Amino acid sequence: MEELIKKIQQDAEKKISEIKDIKELQELKVKILGKKSELSEALKNLKDLSQEERPKIGALVNTARTKLEEKITEMEEKFARKNLEEKLEKEAIDITLPSKKIRRGSEHPLNRVIEEIEDLFTSMGYDVVEGPELETDEFCFERLNLPEGHPARDMQDSFYITDKYLLRTQTSAVQARTMVANEEKSPIRIITLGKTYRREDDATHSHQFNQIEGLVIDRKETKISLADLKGTLEVFMRKMLGDKTELRFRPSYFPFTEPSYEVDVTCFKCGGKGCSLCKQTGWIEVLGSGMVHPNVLKMNGYDPDKYAGFAFGTGIDRLAMFKYGITDMRYLYTNDIKFLKQFDRMDK
């Protein structure tokens, strides 16, 4: 009996080791361990054995069975591993093929610059306010100390709809609106940005363009001064045009400020050496600015004896052109997809 069991085990082990695939293994498993297997038969025959032999042989059968089960499991695992490996190999791909492109849009470069300016000034405590593009003569001119018939005001430059309404020629209109709307006449620190319109179209002027305007008004004790204006514009221009940018203030004339200054920056093309862009002067005029004219304060409800402040404004289109090296202003408004798509990434 002992011999027989040993033989059964040896035969089975041999068969297991010769097995070629999982299906044969399953069949063999039934054959070796199933109810009709030799081992099972051997167990059934236990009852025919003597009292002394019975436990001994029983243990022997169980040991053989356990051993065979282990062997089979081992084989099963081997086949499973092999199977998986084959499957994975079949799933091999060319990792250099193009990816599934998720469409990426882009922001217009002018709006990118607008956002940059907004973020700079909000970080300095300025509120961003908005005003209508369809303005009244009153806010666009009259309340800015530009009465009818004033030489600085020229019908040729404006798009009038009626005698009263026009497309705003300058974001300065928002200055007056902000002062009038502030009923407590508390200090003001705002910027406003947006589209403006003038009746001119040539290589360097578009009839539609964008401006930013800043206004700071405070009680006279605060002593808002030209030096403050200068410092503020230095921060602004250096943020936009680089830390090395120098500013030159030139006295000028705007009806809504007194004193008034035009501000030049070192030429962004040549860095001040002189080139065709700056007409060999090394400077490029970018900003208009000044201390708010007492008449403007008065006309919009602020007592010029108690309040003072500064204002400034500049065109955004040219800043954007410089920032991104755009060579022709027309690109900004023709909206060629090949142009727009270039502005689809983070900017340092």
Of 146-205, which residues contact other proteins (CB under 8 A)? 148-152, 155, 159-162, 165, 167, 187, 189, 195, 197, 199, 201
Q: Measured from the CB atom, is 52 or 148 closer to other proteins?
A: 148
- If one asks whether residue 47 binds other proteins (CB under 8 A), the answer comes out as no
Return the residues of window 77-116 that contact other proteins according to CB under 8 A. Answer: 97-108, 110-111, 115
Q: Measured from the CB atom, is 167 or 299 closer to other proteins?
A: 167
Q: Measured from the CB atom, is 38 or 135 closer to other proteins?
A: 135
Angle at 331 between CA 329 and CA 335, to 5 degrees: 145
Measured CA to CA in angstroms, residue 15 lies from 1, 23, 35, 249 at distances of 21, 14, 18, 100
Q: How far is the CB of 121 from other proteins (least distance, A)?
A: 6
> Collapsing DSSP states into helix, strand and coil, what is residue 153?
coil
- Going by the DSSP 8-state scheme, the letter that residue 329 receives in this structure is T
Q: How far is the CB of 29 from other proteins (least distance, A)?
A: 37
Contacts of 328 (CB under 8 A, 6+ apart): none
Single out the residue of 25, 46, 234, 242 in contact with other proteins (rule: CB under 8 A). 234
- If one asks whether residue 46 binds other proteins (CB under 8 A), the answer comes out as no
Q: Could you tell me if 8 and 38 are in contact, meaning their C-beta atoms sit under 8 angstroms apart?
A: yes
Tokens of 331: 């690109």
Q: Measured from the CB atom, is 39 or 332 closer to other proteins?
A: 332
- If one asks whether residue 311 binds other proteins (CB under 8 A), the answer comes out as no
- If one asks whether residue 261 binds other proteins (CB under 8 A), the answer comes out as yes
Q: Measured from the CB atom, is 81 or 150 closer to other proteins?
A: 150
Q: Could you tell me if 316 and 110 are in contact, meaning their C-beta atoms sit under 8 angstroms apart?
A: yes
- If one asks whether residue 277 binds other proteins (CB under 8 A), the answer comes out as no
Q: How far is the CB of 301 from other proteins (least distance, A)?
A: 19
Quick one: CA torsion of 313, 316, 322, 324, rounded to 10 degrees?
150
- Of 282, 274, 284, nearest in space to 240 by CA: 284
> What gap in Å lies between CA 280 and CA 283, rounded to an integer?
8
Segment interacting with other proteins (CB under 8 A) among 24-32, 72-80, 226-234, 270-278: 226-234
